[in-house]
Amino acid sequence: MFYRFRNDFQLSIITLLGVSAVTGIVPFAVFRFWNGEVLAGLLDTAIVTLIIAGMTYAWVTGDSRRAGVFMCVLISAGAAAVAIVIGTKAIFWIYVVLVTSFFLAPPALATVCNLLMLGAVVLVGDPFDQNQSLYSFLATGIMVSCCAYVFGRRNEDQRIRLERLATHDPLTGAKNRRVMEEEMQAAISTFERNDTPHALVILDLDHFKTINDNHGHGVGDVVLRDVADLVNRHTRLSDTLFRFGGEEFVLLMPGVRPEATASVAENLRYKIMTELRGPRGSRITASFGVASLRVGESDDLWLERADSALYEAKTTGRNKVVVAERMEDDMNAQAIEDDRLTTAVPSC
């Protein structure tokens, strides 16, 4: 619980808003009911209830972005409604909402909500006795929104950059190993739920150390980027490429049946061999290990089977595709044949 609160910024804002709604708005609702302001009290109660519902949704589902959008629209509409019903006494809540909106929703949506809220207060409610007060409210409201927009835009850009740094390999743009483990777990859950097949492909560049040793790591980095770009160009949008480490990449492919995995990997092997060139036009090749997800299999075992197939490809000549299921079938057939030959030898 505390891990999610610390690491999901938007969830923490939603939670703080929920706590603030209970501690800050509930007393006003009670006070208004006490004074006979039933409509205002009902508005406050409805706002608090919906905020708590949005906070609960965010915690239960983990969908803090959708919950943030909902709560941005809610507090904007609620603040406008309260200001229209009560008048100038509720205007101060508008400034809180003007800033909070940019923490909950994307800057563009928060700006629209703020403008609609200001327009509704001025055009529908008209809580100001003098034009000077009206102009001051509009001017300060727009200034606060502009400052909050700049902050919100900057915060959104930084969040996107930090998320990419945390989830992608900076050299090749492929996703990193931590994300791979999460998406493999998600693939297993999907497979258990609706039997959607998934294939795991590990590819390793052949003799890559020679490139680094003879031509430098800068040239090797260019080759790695070219490989990642080629794989992304020749796979589907639903397929995900990860950099596993060094010159190894992992490709997670949903919806690919076991009988089709070999041809998919073979196509990639051929594309790398024919389209990529290393220093001085040298040929780039890769070895592939492929494994389809099995019922009841863990992510570690799934990855281990694909890695064993890759090892078989590397030790039996490189620049080839080995499918774990076929390799295991061959090994089982060989073991049966060895047992048959053993039992067929007459004892002395």
Residues 70, 241: Cα–Cα separation, whole Å: 33
Residues 73, 278: Cα–Cα separation, whole Å: 54
Q: What is the DSSP letter of 345?
A: S
Residues 122, 87: Cα–Cα separation, whole Å: 11
Structure tokens at 112: 């629209």
Q: Which of 247, 297, 304, 325 is catalytic?
A: 247
| Closest to 231 (Cα-Cα) out of 182, 288, 189, 271 | 271
**Burial group, residue 77, by CB count within 10 angstroms (0-12, 13-18, 19+):** middle
Residues sharing a CB contact under 8 Å with residue 187, sequence separation 6 or more, in sequence order: 198, 252, 254, 293
Residues 235, 312: Cα–Cα separation, whole Å: 24
Q: Residue 85, CB half-sphere, CA atoms under 13 Å: how many?
A: 15
Residues 134, 80: Cα–Cα separation, whole Å: 15
Annotated catalytic, 192?
Answer: no
Residues 113, 143: Cα–Cα separation, whole Å: 15
User: Using CA atoms in the order 297, 302, 308, 313, what is the torsion angle rounded to 10 degrees?
Assistant: 130
How big is the chain, counted in residues?
A: 348
Is the Cβ–Cβ distance between 82 and 127 less than 8 Å?
A: no
The CA distances from residue 18 to 45, 57, 79, 104, 344, in Å, are: 13, 12, 15, 12, 77
Residues marked active site are found at: 247
